[in-house]
Structure 1
Amino acid sequence: MPITEPAGDHIELRNTLGSAASAYLRSAAHQPIAWQQWGPEAFDLARRLDRPVLLDIGAVWCHWCHVMDHESYEDTGVARLVNEHFIAIKVDRDERPDVDTRYQRLVQALSQQGGGWPLTAFLTPAGHVFSGGTYFPRTDRYGRPGLLTLLPRVAEVYRQNGLGAQEEVVEVNRQILEATGDRLTPGEPSEQWLHTLLATITHEWEETHAGFGLPSGPKFPAPGTVELLLRLHAEIGRGEARDMALSLLRAMARGGIHDQLAGGFHRYSVDGMWRVPHFEKMLYDNAGLLANFAHAFAETGDGEFAEVARGIVTFAADVLWNEELGGFGGSQDADVGPGDDGDFFTWTPAEARAALSEDEWAVAMHRFDIGEQGEMHHNPAKNVLWIARTVEQLAGGFGASEAEVRAVLARIREKLLAARLRRPAPFVDPTVYLSWNGMMIRGLAEAARFVREPRAQALAVRCADRLAAQCWNVERGWPHALGPGGTFTGGFLDDQAQMALGLLTLYQLTGEPRHLELGLGTIRVMEARFRTPNGAFRDTPIDQRAEVAALAAPSHPYADQPTPAPVPTAAIALEVASLLTGEPAYHARAEEVMRQFAGENPRRIGHMGSTAALALAMLVWPNPTIVLTGDAADPRHTALRDAALRAWRPGLVVRHGRPGTHDGTYLPSPDGAPRAFICAGGTCSPPVSEAASLVEALRSLARP
């Protein structure tokens, strides 16, 4: 569809979002604004008409994006100003994270404000930012100028100052991107770096309600930090690291950020007690948290962690799984429509009471703190469900056994969930983002391994195999997104790194050569398309043509925000590949990648450096590896494999040999019996042939 149509001696603009692959962009196709999709055609149009660009970046799950769309961009007065004076471009930040990352940095620096979504930026026709912010109302309020006030001012400033031709704007943008980017800071990986980061994380820790942020909030999940804290406890015996990880998971599990009925977690908590969430539910959060809770169960044996992990699997399977595309959709919205704020997920006392018997209501009221004064500002009667009383407390209060209370709670959950499912449900974005699906494949594999959740392995295998059949390209790797119309948006480093790590984790569970081969093939593409001449990785392919100057600015993302940073994730995948194959070249590349950033000050990066720290930990401490040899069809091999997969220690890798061959230096026994070796730091234990002997030998992996 063409962007414009000539109409006499002028150009008539029209909204082109109806043809977009993104569900978020299509949701604005009805708006009176002549939105264009991101691309060179839109910027060429701005140059021809000498107009500034209004850039709006948002997401389908973003509450305030929907608010701004409804109150501002559906207004005919705002639309008239935009269409007369600007070229309007709308971007889905999930579809184009490279665009979002760079323009967030530019707008934050120029406005001296925090970023976020919606992001509103005013650009020259060459794509350089000269003004911007986040949410703007239609009229002046909340201490912010309204668009009806702001748009004429911006257009006038652009015209009077000739900003489209000013080199000063170009230079300021260049300096900002250079100063705020993920710069290479070479150094040698060291254990001291990890000790310093732990001290920094401890300083950032909010003790009262657990987590990172102010006691008043907001607070976000920190899956990478949980993984790091468990690894640090395993390596250096720091009990406070373990305590922080487990207390954070317990606080989240019992709070309103955790969907107490359907499982899974909302994106973040607006308060510091984890009670009142922003209600959107993201695939990436739930993928990382699934691995967290599976590992916490392996660490403690506490059934609460296993129950939460099973709930995440249920949410992923029942809500996000897209059978047509063979992958998981990206998110579930917070709201159903304008004026809504999580009403699908919250309850008035009357709504809850109507779904339950009187006895059940009495228990539910105390369990979830359901009262006439709820937590939601837009409707004070609405309650967020959070665990106010434990099973033990309820049993004591009602004079019942814990088993009886659990049975009542199961009925309450079943009835409330059934009632909730009769409500209009928030939209689920069906788009399959490969990076987030790689994360979920890993999370499911860990849940299958440690929680023994029966659906988890089947889902992980189905997802990996379906995506491989539909969108893997041996030369170009994984695309970024798969939608009903096929793949769209070329793949980023994040897609390759997360899919590689997910596949290599799945291979440890299944022992299927196709999962190993596909993971290694992904690493080959990652090396060929994203490796820079100095050995670092960048976020976009080195051969990708940048539509505007901002996208040409190199970015080497090594800090988490909020997903795991792609560069250290790639390094972790390389190191795991080395352990699974015995190929030292993978280890050498992991070291080369992390040397580019090991000079970063851990005090500056704080807990956002958790994935980088996990990569460094794999390089400075030996990674225990269980090597299995022999015929996988032999029942003795099955027993050894099951014992190996049940073994828990952060960083432990399970390596499978191939039937009828020897696996490197790990020779089969003379009689062909399956054997297992435990190796770390270049040395291996004597081989064992019995599962009981392997379990005994694994005790040598005890913490310091």
Structure 2
Amino acid sequence: MRSRFAMLVCLFGFAVSGFASPAVAPAALHWQAWSDGAFAQARAEHKFVLLDLEAVWCHWCHVMDDVTYRDPAVVRLLNQRYVLVKVDQDSRPDISNRYQDYGWPATVVFAADGSEIVKRQGYLPPKLMSSMLQAIIDDPSPGPSIESEAAFRPASDSVIKSALLARIEAQYEKQYDKPIGGWGFVHKYLDEESVEYAMRQGARGNAEYAKRAGDTLHDATNLLDPVWGGMYQYSVGRHWTEPHFEKLISIQADALREYSLAFAETRNPEDLNAAQSVHRYVTNFLTAPAAGVFFVSQDADLHDGQENEAYFKLSDQGRRAQGIPRVDTHVYARENGWMIAALCDYYAASDDVTALAQARKAAGWIVVHRSLPGGGFRHDDVDPAGPYLGDTLAMGQAFLALYNVTGDRGDLKAAGAAADYIAGHFAPAAVGGGFVTAQTATDAAYRPHPDRDENVALVRFASGLALASGEERYRAAAVEAMRYLAAESIALRPLSAGVLLANEDMTEAPIHVTVLGAASNADVVALHTAALRAITSHELIEVRDPADPAPLPTSVTYPPLKRAALFLCTAQACSSPIFRGEEVRGKIQRAQLQAQR
């Protein structure tokens, strides 16, 4: 899916001392939504604009509200010289992508013309905040946190040059924490793309990478809630055993997908148990009972800003006696797309038909309630800005995933419509400039920018869609996004696995699994089911009925047969027909080994 940790982590300061609430209630602060009107007000009143970019699930965001923004000195300075803007980062993908490197809460101060003066990450205690606010009043020139944006130089083409690719692969190798396990060296979390790339190389015969993926998946089970299920966002410090307790739908989707793919590859029951834990939690806590769509998150705190470790050590009965942490019940198309796609992989690997039913129901609701004319999707019921690339992209991925496990042509058509909408609304202004997060700028001083993770996802989606549909125009979108990712300044950013996966998905043919025969034929169903149980991360599965009057285009000529058969094709060759479902797993695994030869 993507490496979302940088934009999701709730940052805090290890050196922060005690923070008592003020004895005297301060005057109220008047927050408003992000808009051009905030900057117009700042110009009219000769003030600055302060953005508090928070996450509704974030413990340290709650502490900022309860402590810093109630401190009399802070309140006095803010009311005198600042226009105050508060944004939930989940609600505004454009602003979230813009400041994702600062974690949540992020504090950004602007001049009235929209230029940035200071950017700070994480919890700011009252004394530090009031000192910063006064310093800006005294001298509003941009501070050291504001750096000029470097000129971007796109790659000359979409193929990553061999020397640069070697550097990216070397970086990926260094990003693995050998003593502790996992990718990254500060917090411990399940980075989906890093694990997926290691699993893919492991399936191709790299025993060391297979072990790293397996060890990381095992270690990450420490982040599973043993009572309610589901995965906490990350563990504090360089170990796996001190979780931060918020649960985000994005984290659940990542975990569900990776544990499902791992189980399909290894049949390790621990991986299935982990996937089932996530599925159970999402079903019980983050699913709208009637509509079947998925909510955004569950808070880390039962009571805002209070420590919660003791609460999460309680039994189900003990927790419920005290209450249940708040669930953000917004329904975003992007987040639903992520979960729908993950449910498809879980269904494929586990044969849990309830997961496919959930994916179908959520997709149907989103189509009715979030569709835009022309194949796109809006973020929320009403968007203050947008549309955003992430929503249409995630739903396109969801439809392609549904097609991959069901063969429903309607899903393939919906995926194609999403790709066409993306090409028509988010394409870069210049060749190689990357598909942009939003059509319109967040403010007059900031033009629309591309996001690396979104362009990784777009390359992978468009490449798969081109193969599934036979429509070459979708590959053109992948090529354009890859030119952005192949630029050295983008390609060498950590973490590296996303770019490596995108490069492989675009340049290397996936395993192509084709079952020949009528979809209602019992032998076809058995072969198709066997293929699903062994699903891989780089694969197209399809059922082709020889009697289909309008078959999808293919470059492969299949022989006429009198019985159902399955064929495996790679870039080099196609297998002889496979008639027995019990042979499929071994054949797919051998095809993966041969893919690198």
Q: Which residue of 2 aligns with 1:78?
A: 74
Q: Among residues 446, 449, 454, which one is paired with 1:555 in the alignment?
A: 449
| 1:186–1:597 CA contact under 8 A, matched in 2 | no
For the residues of structure 2 that align with 1:67 and 1:339, how far apart are their CA atoms? 5
Alignment of 1:314-333 (within 5 A): 314-323=280-289, 326-333=292-299
- Residue 176 of structure 1 pairs with residue 148 of structure 2: yes
Give the counterpart letter for 2:40 in structure 1.
D
How far apart are 1:522 and its partner, in Å? 0.6
Matching residue's letter, 2:215: S
Seq. identity, %:
27
1:131 aligns with 2:118: yes
Distance 1:193 1:455, change over 3 A: farther
Residue 250 (structure 1) aligns with = 218
Structure 2 gaps of 5+ residues are: 1-25
In 1, are the aligned partners of 2:570 and 2:591 still within 8 Å (CA)? no
Question: Which position in structure 2 is the counterpart of 1:632?
Answer: 519
Q: Does 1:297 find its partner at 2:258?
A: no
Deviation sequence 1:140-174 (CA, Å, 0-9, x none): 3xxxx242x4433422334xxxx6xxxxx69996x
Contact kept, 8 Å, 2:118 with 2:145, in 1: the verdict is no
Cα 1:155–1:521 change in 2 (3 A) is: same
Contact 2:47 2:81 in 1 (8 A): yes
- What is the correspondence of 1:89-238 to structure 2 with a 5 Å cutoff? 89-103=85-99, 115-135=102-122, 137=124, 139-140=126-127, 145-147=128-130, 149-158=131-140, 176-178=148-150, 184-187=154-157, 188-189=159-160, 196-214=167-185, 217-235=186-204, 237-238=205-206
* Equivalent AA in structure 1 for residue 38 of structure 2: A
- Does the alignment pair 1:646 with 2:545? no
Q: Is the 8 A contact 1:627 1:654 kept in 2?
A: yes
- Show the counterpart of 2:248: 282
| Candidates 494, 503, 507, aligned match of 2:390 | 494
2:277 pairs with 311, 316, 319, which one?
311
After superposition, the Cα gap between the structure-2 partners of 1:138 and 1:639, relative to the gap in structure 1 and judged at 3 Å, is closer
Specify the SS of the correspondent of 2:493: helix
Q: Residues of 1 paired with 2:97 and 2:41: CA distance?
A: 24
Correspondence for 2:413 among 517, 537, 544: 517
8 Å CA contact 1:626, 1:677 repeated in 2: yes
Measure, in 2, the Cα distance between the counterparts of 1:692 and 1:212.
35
| Separation in 1, partners of 2:153, 2:88 | 26
Using the alignment, how far apart are the partners of 2:518 and 2:534 within structure 1? 21
- 1:61 corresponds, among 39, 57, 62, to 57
Counterpart for residue 229 of structure 2 = 263
Match among 7, 32, 35 for residue 36 of structure 1:
32
Partner of 1:581: 469
TM-score between both structures, scaled by the size of structure 1: 0.74
Cross-structure match for 1:664: 553
Instruction: Look up the match of 1:529.
Output: 425
Deviation per CA, 1:507-558: give whole Å up to 9, x if none.
111222222111111111011111124255333344x2552312x1x42222
Change (3 A) 1:463 1:548: same
- Quick check: 2:374–2:417 contact (8 Å CA) kept in 1? no
Report SS of the residue matched to 1:189. Answer: coil
**417, 423, 439: which one pairs with 2:322?**
423
Change in CA separation of 1:488 and 1:146 when aligned onto 2, cut-off 3 Å: closer
- Of structures 1 and 2, the larger Rg is shown by 1
Amino acid at match of 2:148: I
Give the corresponding residue for 1:409: none
CA contact (8 A) 1:629 1:663 kept: no
- Pick closer, same or farther for the CA change 1:239–1:186 going to 2, 3 Å: farther
Counterpart pick for 1:475 among 354, 364, 374 = 374
Tell me: CA distance 1:692–1:205, structure 2 relative to 1, closer, same or farther (3 Å).
Answer: closer
The alignment's C-alpha RMSD in Å is: 2.9
Q: CA deviation at 1:250?
A: 0.3
SS of corresponding position for 2:67: helix
| Whole-Å separation in 1 of the counterparts to 2:431 and 2:530 | 43
Q: Per-residue CA shift, 1:412-435, capped at 9, x if unaligned?
A: xxxx22332332111111112222
Q: Is residue 623 from structure 1 mapped to residue 510 from structure 2 by the alignment? A: yes
Aligned pairs (5 A) from 1:334-483: 334-343=300-309, 345-347=311-313, 416-475=315-374, 477-482=376-381
How far is 1:601 from its partner? 6.8
Cα drift, residue 697 of structure 1: 4.9
Distance 1:432 1:184, change over 3 A: farther
Count of residue pairs the alignment pairs up: 564
User: Which digits, 9 at most, give the CA deviation of each residue in 1:453-478, with x for residues without a partner?
Assistant: 33211111111111112111232611
Q: Residues 482 and 503 of structure 2 are in contact (CA less than 8 Å); yes or no, is this contact kept in structure 1? A: yes
CA pair 703-620 structure 1, distance change in 2 beyond 3 A: same
Cα pair distance change 1:137/1:699, threshold 3 Å = closer
Amino acid paired to 1:252: A
Residues 269 and 171 from structure 1, CA distance in 2 versus in 1: closer, same or farther, beyond 3 angstroms? Answer: closer
Change in 2 beyond 3 A, CA 1:512/1:77: same
Decide whether the 8 Å contact of 2:344 with 2:359 is kept in 1.
yes
